[in-house]
Every structure is written in C-alpha cells, then in structure tokens.
Structure 1
C-alpha cells in the first residue's frame, strides 16, 4: 500500500492546532489528547513531509517557513470541514462564553476599549485588545494562524487569504509643546525638517508612518528618540523641543493634558485609513461576523459623536 493511502489525516488537524496555539500543551488540551500524543503526531508528520516543522523559541515554539507554507495550503479545507462538523452557525452572543482577540493600535484601543466593555457587560463574551505588532508580516502570520480573530490596521494585505473593510479615516498631525521656542501656531516645511523628531517604532510597507502616508520621498530627519508608544511620544514632546506625529483624534484628546500644540503638517499627506482585516476563511463564520459587526457599529457611533 502506498504512503499516500496510509496517511493519517488526523495529523493535519493536530498540526493545524499546534500552529494556531503555538503550544503542544495547549493543543493537547484543546484536542483532548496527551501532550506526548501531540508530540508524536508532529514527529510523524515531520517524517512524512521531510521538513522541520517547529523550532523552540524561549519557552514556546514557532512554526518554520515549511510549516507556515503547509498550514496555508491546508487551513481553508480543514476549517470548512470543522465548521460544518462543529455547527459554528449556532453562535449565540447571549449565551457564548467566547474570548476574542483583536490587534489594534493605541488610537483604536483608546477609541473602542470602554465602549466595547459597556457593550459586552451583560454577556459572557470577552474581547481582549492587543497592541499591533511592529512588523506587518507578524500581524499577517498571527491572523493566518488564528492567534487573533481580526486586526484593525492602516494597511490591508493584498492577498487572497485576507479580507478587509475600511472602517475609519483620520489625519496625521504634527505635535509640539505649547511653549516651543521656535514653533507657534503653525510649522513650515523648513522648520519641520530642521527639528529633532520623536519616531514611532512601527513600520508599514517597510516605511515609517509618515513616509508610508506620503507620495513623495521625504528628506532624512534627525532622530531625538524612537518609542513604541504614541502616548509616551506625546509625553516626551511635552518635556522637550523635539517634535512628533500622531493621529488627529489621538492628539486632540491629550493636547490639553500634556500642554501641546496640534499643527497641520507642512507637506501633502494622505489620510490615515483604518481597515478591519481578517482571515478569509472566517468570512462566513457567524462568530467572526458578529465580532466585525459589533466593532463596526461602535466605531461608527463614536465617529458620529466626534463629528
């Protein structure tokens, strides 16, 4: 009998679960198996495909490039089968105890966190916001492996494995302290490039946020500091002569608290477009549909209030 006829399809289900949970122990718990059974299944699949599938990273594991490629080939058919067998069309938000995970940046988390908490207060559902990864490749991988249910980001992946919807627009502004010695009320292009900059440690399209949103190639800027938090950037700007950038909706919320000027940028910058992004295989999942609809309604209601 050929190897193809002897292949155990259960190995793919174990493999997909390990990829998604990034843990042998969590996969074992979810599949109601022992950890040794999961390890043995992965070892058998490794021998079959002839490639290393997982590597140790700290106390956890990470899929290799071969594993990610294999997962991408099998995730859609496996998901379709499991959705049919498990009857996911029976998702009921009133009785569900599910926990959703959503990637979003500080602007979106600040916009949505309290309203989401209020909306879900009478249900058993939990929604946990997580800071968007610095690199978009990690964001896409986590969506593919279902480590998060969806993301709200400035970029929409141009891949068939993802679906996206534009949910909000904002604009990028320059932020400086009110008593800045050289800038008051407005900022010229010459002033902008002459000052030191507080940079956000985030890349989209392998570009900084402002370079990503402009159609021109901008001159190099002198860096004062590089930080991972927009709030920390605003705080630093309030205590120095360095300038920084933020979305208008976020900057105006903290301008008075930190004593900041919020100024229009002295160059043409495209609007910030926020996209809700999810794995295409979840497009018909009632749970994911409910999540997207809930978040969209909350974003739209907040935008109506702000205008």
Structure 2
C-alpha cells in the first residue's frame, strides 16, 4: 500500500519480490478478494485492500511506535519537506506567511491543490504522500483526525462602478444579474448551493471560471457579479476596484478543517506541522479582521 510496488515493498522489508508476492497471494486467498491490480510498473489497491488497510493501519502504527519509539523532531536542524493539500483560498492565505516563518530554517512547506476525487485525497493521506490537508469537507472515516481551524463567510462581489449596485444588493437584484460561477470540480453544486439549505432559482451565467482570482478579475471588468469568501475578497478588493457586499441569502459559514491520518497524531514532525499551520492561520485571520 505504501510503496505502490511489490519490488519497492520487498526492498523496504529486506525480502525477495517473490516472497512479498507469495504473502499477498496467501492474504488474497484468506480474504477471498482481489487486493492489488497492476498499473504500469506498480500496483494499485482495490476497494477491498483499502478497507483492510483502514483496519490494519492503526494497530500497526502502534506496534511500530512501541518497537522503534517516536522519532524526535528538531525544526532547527531538520531539512524536511512537508506537503499540504489546500484549496486556492487557503494557499493564498498561508503561502507567503509560511515562507517568512520558515526562512531561518531548512524546512520547506509545499502546498498542493486539493485533488478532485475525495478518495484520492484520503488515499494520499493514508499513504503519507501528503502530510495533511486543509479542506472544507470533514472526513467521516475513523482513520482520520480533524480539527476545525477557520470559519469564513460567503460574500457578493461587484465592481465599484457597477451601474445598478452600490453599497448593498437585494435578493431581487442578486437573481436578476448575470453571474460569474466557479467550477468547483468536487461535486456538481456551486459554492452558494453547497452552503445554503434552500433550493435556489436558476441564475443567468455570465462565465464559468477555474479559479476564484479569475472570477474576481472578471467581475472587475464587467457588470456581472460573483461570490467569494470574505477573507479572500478583501485581499484583492482595493487592487481590483471591487465592492464587497453582504449576500442577500441565508447561507451557512464556510468551515475549514485540518485533516491528518490518525497514525500521525502523536508523530512529533506532524504535530509541529499542525501547530505551525494553526499559528499561521490564527495570525492571518487576526490581520484580515
């Protein structure tokens, strides 16, 4: 599971490849399910293997920690590179602050955009391809821990010189204007549909964009309206000449969760990473407020 390869697993275990293949074959016969399929030069787990791994990883991690002890982590001397999944808003909020925070160390934080498929995000966390994620969706699986780290609100954004909207927007105005919509990729709902409990009328679309910054830039150069999180919109309102308006709808707050594999809960390096990111988020939120 961790190496995505029989040969690399054999190297890690100091065994022959045939020994690993035979062991997996015995487990396959015991379980009665196919566990891995070949993909290129490696292997990919089946749903049965993923289910078994979820059950095994916690006790295996406890055994490993008992035998080897928990490795110490010294941020002053470490040359570790951490990988974090986050969306555009969180990357924009944290990236510069992280660079400044760590410039006196040899540690690197690499932010990656959250994958479209939820299963891929969870698999990457389980296999430690990434160290943690900051996501709007809280995982339900028991193999993950999560912590709510930030709340934000959805706001309406239009250009300052909009011919019909100034200072506020009514519900009727909101639905009568053309809309710039974010292609969220993860699911078929728009941001506002995801965060409201009511079924909203169809809006006339002006354009569909792949990023929130592109949406804000389009709003700055048109009479169309768009939506963004308050913290992100405030970063670009002055630069792009935008109005930030209260949304004339009842919407739920945007909640961000820090998510990590349970087996890393007591891992010193992961604990340091979580505390560092939490400090960065708290400092950035206090500045934006």
TM-score above 0.5: yes
Q: Distance in 2 between matches of 1:249 and 1:41?
A: 50
Shift in alpha-carbon separation, 1:188–1:23, aligned structure 2, 3 A: farther
Residue range with higher mean Cα deviation, 232-241 or 83-92:
83-92
TM-score, with length taken from structure 2: 0.86
Query: Does 1:251 find its partner at 2:230?
Result: no
Deviations 1:101-143 (A, max 9, x none): 1111222112211221122222222111111223434323322
Q: How many residues align?
A: 285
Q: Distance in 2 between matches of 1:279 and 1:135?
A: 17
Q: Distance in 1 between matches of 2:67 and 2:38?
A: 31
1:287 is aligned to 269
Give how far 1:201 is off.
2.3
Q: Distance in 2 between matches of 1:213 and 1:203?
A: 16
Q: Distance in 2 between matches of 1:84 and 1:93?
A: 23
Query: Does 1:51 find its partner at 2:30?
Result: no
Alignment of 1:225-304 (within 5 A): 225-304=207-286
- Flag structure 2 segments of 5+ consecutive residues without an equivalent: none
Counterpart of 2:95 (choices 75, 90, 113) is 113
Shift in alpha-carbon separation, 1:25–1:264, aligned structure 2, 3 A: farther
1:9 is aligned to none
Is residue 36–residue 43 contact of structure 2 (8 Å, CA) maintained in 1? no
Give how far 1:203 is off.
6.0
Alignment of 1:108-147 (within 5 A): 108-147=90-129
**Aligned partner of residue 294 in structure 1, secondary structure:** helix
Q: Distance in 1 between matches of 2:264 and 2:99?
A: 24
Shift in alpha-carbon separation, 1:265–1:135, aligned structure 2, 3 A: farther
Give how far 1:301 is off.
1.9
Shift in alpha-carbon separation, 1:299–1:220, aligned structure 2, 3 A: same
